Structure 1
Amino acid sequence: MNKKWWKESVVYQIYPRSFKDSNGDGIGDLNGITEKLDYLKELGIDVIWLSPVYQSPNDDNGYDISNYRAIMKEFGTMADYDRLLAEAHRRGIRIVMDLKEMMKYLRCKSRDNARTPFQWDDTENAGFTTGMPWIMVNPNYKEINAKDQLKQEDSVFHYYQKLIRLRKEYEIIVYGSYDLLLPDDRELYIYTRTLGSEQLLVICNFYENTRAFVLPVGWSKENSELLIGNYNDFSRSENTVTVRPYEAIVLKNRFSQIG
C-alpha cells in the first residue's frame, strides 16, 4: 500500500476575510484564525488551505500577488502569520497557501453567501466582528451558529467530526478500491469500498423520493451493521434498505476485520 500523508489528511479551506476578525475592522484576519485553531482541532482537521493573504492590490481576490514576502495589511503582518503557523503546528495542523488558478475559478463561480462571515455565535454580527462586517452577515445566525452546533449532539458539526474520525480510523475509506453500483440510477448513488477482506457499502439518496434498495449478496441484516448515517434511525428488512429523502448510509460487513 502506497501511503501518503496528503491522501489521509482532512483539509479545511479558510477564506480569511470572512472567518474571524480580531481587531474590530470588520475584516477577518490571521489573528482571528489563530484564535479559532482549537475549534478546528476539535473538528479533527489536519490541514488548513488558506486563501491568499499576501500583499496584493486586491483587484483579483488576492490572487494578483505583488509581494510573496509580505502580508496584506488588512490581514495582519508576517509576524502574525509566523504565530499562526507556529500555533497550528503545535496542534498538529499544517497550512497550505492557496496560489491555484483552479481554486480562483471555483470561487468566482460561488455565490456571495459562500463568503458571508462565519457564524460563531448568536451575539451581534454572529461573533465575527465587533465592528461593521465587510459583507452582510446571514440573518439566520441567531439559529445557526458554531456555538449552538457544539452543544447539540446531532448537529452538522458533530456529524462531520464523526466522519473525520472514521476516515482516520479506517484505512479502507482512503485506500479501498471503489466500485460503483447502479450506474444508471439518477437518484441513488451507491458504491463499495474494498481493502483486502474488508468492505464498506455506501448508499446515498440525492432526491426527495423514498426508495427501496435490495442489498447485494453478503449484505444481509445478519452480515452487516450501520457504521454511520444522517438520520437518527435506520430502516431495513433482512435484505432491503429503505432509503429516505437525502439519506446517507454506510454499512460495514460484520465479517470484515476493520479497526
Structure 2
Amino acid sequence: MEKKWWKESVVYQIYPRSFKDSNGDGIGDINGITEKLDYLKELGIDVIWLSPVYQSPNDDNGYDISDYQAIMEEFGTMEDFDRMLAEAHKRGIRIVMDLVVNHTSDEHAWFVESKKSRENPYRDYYIWREGKDGKEPNNWGSVFNGSAWVYDETTDMYYLHLFSKKQPDLNWDNPKVREEVFSMMNWWCEKGIDGFRMDVISMISKVEGLPDGKVQGGLYGDASPYVQNGPHVHEYLQEMNKEVLSKYDLLTVGECAGVTIEEAKKYASNKGTELGMVFQFEHMDLDQGEFSKWSDKKVKLTALKENLTKWQNELEGKAWNSLFWCNHDQPRVVSRFGNDSKEYREVSAKMLATCLHLMQGTPYVYQGEELGMTNVPFASVDEFKDIESINAYHEYVESGLISKEDMMRYLCYKSRDNARTPMQWNDQKNAGFTTGTPWIKVNPNYVEINAEEEVKRADSVFSYYKKLIALRHQEEVIVYGHYELLLPESEELYVYTRELNEEKLLVICNFTDKEVSYAVPDEFVGKEILISNYEEQEIKQELSLKPYEAIVVRR
C-alpha cells in the first residue's frame, strides 16, 4: 500500500464562527484561530480543515460564497489569513480549505450577471429552465426543504438551487465554469494551502433532462438519483486533478452524499486520478426514521458495525477511507452513539474515539469532540440559527406531520446547531469564547466541560485524544494494517483486529452502560495493553468489560 503523509495524519475541523472570537463581536474569527494554534499543537493534530472563511452574505453560514478570493469581513482580512497560514506551518500544522463549488451565493458577480438577461455571457454559468404549465420545471425539493427552483421575473425563467434559495447551482457542463473554478483553486494553492475538502462534490454533474423525482413522505420529489454521482462527475474531477491537484502535494477529500462503494473506488482510487479520499455518510443515516433525519431513533450496533466494516474491507488496497463521527453538519457523537450523562460522558467519549481512531483511514476530529462536548438543551425553535432546522420545523409542524413537542425533541437530538455552539475554552463568561454576545447560545455545561480544565487533567477526554493521536504517529499497524471484524452479531461489543506484518492489535469496545464479558482469543491473553479508558486490567481469557470500556491489546 502506497504511503502518503495524509494517510498518517489526523485532521481537526474548525468551524470558524464558533471557534474563538478575538475582537469581542460575538463571532469567531481567523485571529482567534491563530491564538489557539498552540492548543492544537499540544493535541498533536497534523492538519486543520477550515470551514469556509470566504466572503459570503452568510445565508448558510459561509457555504454561500460571493467571492472565492476574499475573506468574510466578520472573520478578518487576507493579511490575517496569511499570518494564520504562516503560524500554522511554523508549528508543522497544514491548512486545508473548504471548497464549495457546486453552487455560489446569489450575490456572486457571476450570478448577478447571469440574472440580467437570457443573452448575458454569464447566463450559462448557472442552471436556468423554463417553467412547465405555469409551475416549476420539475418537482425537485431542496435539501433545505421547499422547492429546488426559484422563479425570476426579469427573464421569466427558474434557476436551480439544491440547497438554499441564495445558493444557485453552477452549471459544470459549461467549460468556462470549470476553467474559472480551476484558476481560483490554483490561486489558493500558490498561496501555500495544503489541500481541499470539497463540499457536496458528488453533486456537480446533473442528469440530462432533469426528470421528476419520486415523492416520499414530503411535498417534493427526491432529486438525489439525478444529482448525486452524475454522468460527468468523474470526468470533471479528473480534469480538476490534471489542471490543479496533481501539481501540488495536497490532501483532498470529497464530501460525497449518496456515494456507493463502487463510486468511492473511482473518486478516491489509489491511482490518484481524482481525490485522496471521500466522506461517505451511510453510517450517519442509520438512525433515520419516517421523516428522514428527523427522528430520535437509536442506531443498532450490528448495523453500525456492518456498515463501517463494509467500507473498511471493500476499500482496502483500492481507495482510502476517511473516518469521522462528527462535523459541522452532525450532532455531537457522545450524545448520539455514546452516553452524555455525568456518569458516562467521559468514558463513552473515549470509547467512541478508540473505536474510530484504530480503524484504517484518516481520522477527523471536529472542534470540541476532543473535550467530549455534548448536544445542547435548546428550549425553543427561536434559539436555532441553522436554516435546515428552522425550515424543517416549520414545514413539518405547520403541515401537521409532526407535533411541536416531537419536532423539538428531534431538533435537540439531530440539529446541526448542536455542533455549532461555541467552543468551550474555560469556565469564565461565554466559555471564554467571546467578551461580547455570542452569535449562538453557549452550551450551559461549559462550566464542567472546557479545554482549560481538560488540558491540565491527565485522565481527561482531551488527554486521551492526545494519546490516540500520538499512537497513530508511532504505530504503522494503526495506519496501514488489515482490519477484520470479530463478533458481528453482538449488539453490545464492537471488536476488531488490525494486522501488519508480525504485529497485531485487538480492539474491544463496549457500547453499553452494562458490564459485558468477552472471551479473549488465545493469541492475546496476557499481552500488553496499548491504550484503555479505565485503569488497566490484566488480559485474561475471560474479560469483564465495564460500561463503555475500550481496550486495545497488542500481540
TM bracket (short chain): over 0.9
Partners in 2 of 1:190 and 1:212 — Cα distance? 12
Partners in 1 of 2:545 and 2:495 — Cα distance? 11
Cα distance, 1:109 vs structure 2:
4.8
Aligned to 1:65: 65
The runs of 5 or more residues in structure 1 that have no matched partner are 254-259
Partners in 1 of 2:495 and 2:535 — Cα distance? 20
Give the AA of the match of 2:531. I
More deviation in 154-163 or 116-125?
Answer: 116-125
Structure 1 segment 126-165 matched on structure 2, within 5 A:
126-165=431-470
Aligned to 1:249: 551
Give the match's secondary structure for 2:40: helix
Aligned to 1:201: 506
Structure 1 segment 105-124 matched on structure 2, within 5 A:
107-110=328-331, 111=415, 112-124=417-429
Cα distance, 1:129 vs structure 2:
0.6
Give the AA of the match of 1:233. E
Partners in 1 of 2:546 and 2:76 — Cα distance? 48
Structure with larger Rg: 2
Cα distance, 1:236 vs structure 2:
4.4
Partners in 2 of 1:84 and 1:148 — Cα distance? 26
Please state if 1:240 is matched with 2:542: yes
Aligned to 2:50: 50
Paired residues in the alignment total 250
* CA gap 1:103/1:109 in 2 versus in 1, 3 angstroms: farther
Structure 1 segment 22-61 matched on structure 2, within 5 A:
22-61=22-61
Q: Which residue of 470, 476, 484 maps to 1:179?
A: 484
Aligned to 2:85: 85
> What is the Cα-based RMSD across aligned positions, in Å?
1.6
* CA gap 1:103/1:128 in 2 versus in 1, 3 angstroms: farther
Aligned to 2:495: 190
Partners in 2 of 1:244 and 1:173 — Cα distance? 24
- Provide Cα deviations, 1:78-131, integer angstroms capped at 9, x if missing partner: 111000100000000001112212399964454322111111111111111111
Partners in 2 of 1:107 and 1:148 — Cα distance? 24
Cα distance, 1:214 vs structure 2:
0.7
Partners in 2 of 1:174 and 1:57 — Cα distance? 40
Give the match's secondary structure for 2:496: strand
Aligned to 1:230: 533
Give yes or no for contact 2:496–2:508 (8 Å, CA) kept in 1: yes
Give the match's secondary structure for 1:92: coil
Give the match's secondary structure for 1:246: coil
Question: Among the aligned pairs, what percent are the same residue?
Answer: 67
Give the match's secondary structure for 2:524: coil
Aligned to 1:257: none
TM-score by length of 1: 0.92
Give the AA of the match of 1:206. F
Partners in 1 of 2:256 and 2:89 — Cα distance? 24
Tell me which protein shows more strand as a share of its residues.
Answer: 1
Partners in 1 of 2:10 and 2:80 — Cα distance? 24
Partners in 2 of 1:148 and 1:103 — Cα distance? 37
The runs of 5 or more residues in structure 2 that have no matched partner are 100-198, 201-254, 258-280, 282-326, 332-414
Give the match's secondary structure for 1:218: helix
Partners in 2 of 1:109 and 1:169 — Cα distance? 30
Aligned to 1:20: 20
TM-score by length of 2: 0.44
Partners in 1 of 2:482 and 2:17 — Cα distance? 39
Structure 1 segment 204-223 matched on structure 2, within 5 A:
204-221=509-526
Partners in 2 of 1:68 and 1:217 — Cα distance? 57
Cα distance, 1:186 vs structure 2:
1.5
Aligned to 2:290: none
Cα distance, 1:209 vs structure 2:
2.1
* CA gap 1:202/1:152 in 2 versus in 1, 3 angstroms: same
Give the AA of the match of 1:85. L
More deviation in 205-214 or 226-235?
Answer: 226-235
Give the match's secondary structure for 2:48: strand
Hey, which bits of structure 1, 4+ residues long, moved more than 3 A? 102-110
Partners in 1 of 2:525 and 2:80 — Cα distance? 55
Give the AA of the match of 1:14. I
Give the AA of the match of 1:201. L
